[in-house]
Amino acid sequence: MRRALISCVPVLVAALLVGGAPAPALPRTPSPATAGSLPAPTTSNHFVTNLHGATAEPRQTGFTIFDTGSSSQQVDALPRGARAMVWLGQKCPTAADDAFRRTVQRLAGNPRVFGYYLSDEPHVADCPGGPQALASRARYLRRATGGSQRSFIVLSQPADYVAFRPEVTRVDMVGLDPYPCSVPNPGCAFDKIDEKVALATQSITLSRIVPVYQAFGQSAAASHYYDLPTADQMRTMLAHWARLVPHPPMDYTYGWGHQDSANPTLADSAPLKSLFTAYFGG
């Protein structure tokens, strides 16, 4: 449902620091000592997208927040223990309008709505008014729901960490999506996680950052750049995130089902599903 296009070009982060300052020294940690080790779960809120109607197996795997549209029926049909992250997103956000307000008013009293996904990888260079438009939406959400439902965006480029920081956009949660496993990095470049978190925390409070776990590849897609991580690689990915962002408001796994630009995915990998079940279960 989300993220119809995935960039196939690595982001150059060092040149985009505010004021041209040199990149901070990055901590280096080894991979987990044993193949079977997992960090303790850092949150009980586990978000997954691209369900394509699947609910039972993702819930059994341990996910607790599901990607949905704005239909009350779709929200209410979620399995027991699951809540909705309602997609009201735009690539280039616009200010809250009557249609947005009516949708939020309809869902504001629904306890099964965890929050609203307002934008996926916006870029200030393409959308200079986006930060202020998001602020309009996030402020309305907070007023309408009394703060009980949260606003969420995902950022992919360090240049946007400053422009779309919560002080400006008023959003509650910001996902970071450094995808470390790719054709140029067959062993996975886990330092990309460290680098993006180090850059993001110059502008975004750590408690608002949402880890985004790569659970997709492109080996069956038209353009093959990303690789689906193995279970061992996912263990290392989880360990990096747990060390860097130990108390996130939620985590985000992208994704469950296929898209044209993301195939295979978590749905195709029994070892990854077993790993997530073990991790979420503590």
pLDDT tens-digit readout, 163-203:
999 999 999 999 999 999 999 999 999 999 999 999 999 99
Instruction: Write out pLDDT tens, residues 85-95.
Output: 999 999 999 99
84 contacts: CB under 8 Å, gap ≥ 6: 65, 66, 68, 74, 75, 78, 112, 113, 114
Give me the pLDDT at residue 15, please: 33
Query: What CA–CA distance (Å, rounded) separates 177 from 237?
Result: 12
Cα–chain center distance at 177 = 6
Question: Is it true that domain 38-280 has CATH number 3.40.50.2000?
Answer: no
Cα separations (Å) of 12 from 159, 191, 194, 248?
A: 10, 13, 14, 25
Instruction: Write out pLDDT tens, residues 64-83.
Output: 999 999 999 999 999 999 99
Tokens 């991580």 belong to which residue? 229
Residue 117 pLDDT more than 50? yes
Tally Cβ neighbours within 10 Å of residue 22.
7
- Structural domain boundaries in the chain: 38-280
Q: How confident is the model at residue 19 (pLDDT cuts 50, 70, 90)?
A: very low
Q: Which two tokens stand for residue 228?
A: 């689906």
- Omega before 264 cis (within 30°)? yes
User: CB under 8 Å, gap of 24 or more: what pairs does 147-153 form?
Assistant: 149/107, 149/108, 149/113, 149/114, 149/115, 149/116, 150/114, 150/115, 150/116, 150/249, 151/115, 151/116, 151/118, 152/85, 152/115, 152/116, 152/117, 152/118, 152/210, 153/117, 153/118, 153/119, 153/120, 153/122
268 contacts: CB under 8 Å, gap ≥ 6: 228
- Name the residue with higher pLDDT: 11 or 74: 74
Q: Which residues pair with 150 in a beta bridge?
A: 115
Residue 14 pLDDT more than 90? no
Residues 107-118 have a mean pLDDT of 98
Give me the pLDDT at residue 35, please: 42
DSSP string, 149-204: SEEEEEE--HHHHHHT-HHHH--SEEEE-----BTTBTT--THHHHHHHHHHTTTS
Give me the pLDDT at residue 32, please: 37
Q: What angle do CA 118, 120, 124 make, to 5 degrees?
A: 95
Cα separations (Å) of 50 from 112, 233, 261?
A: 19, 22, 12
Give me the pLDDT at residue 2, please: 56
Give me the pLDDT at residue 185, please: 95
Give me the pLDDT at residue 222, please: 83
| pTM greater than 0.75 (yes/no) | yes
Instruction: Write out pLDDT tens, residues 30-67.
Output: 333 334 699 999 999 999 999 999 999 999 999 999 99
Q: How confident is the model at residue 221 (pLDDT cuts 50, 70, 90)?
A: confident
Tokens 């470049």 belong to which residue? 189
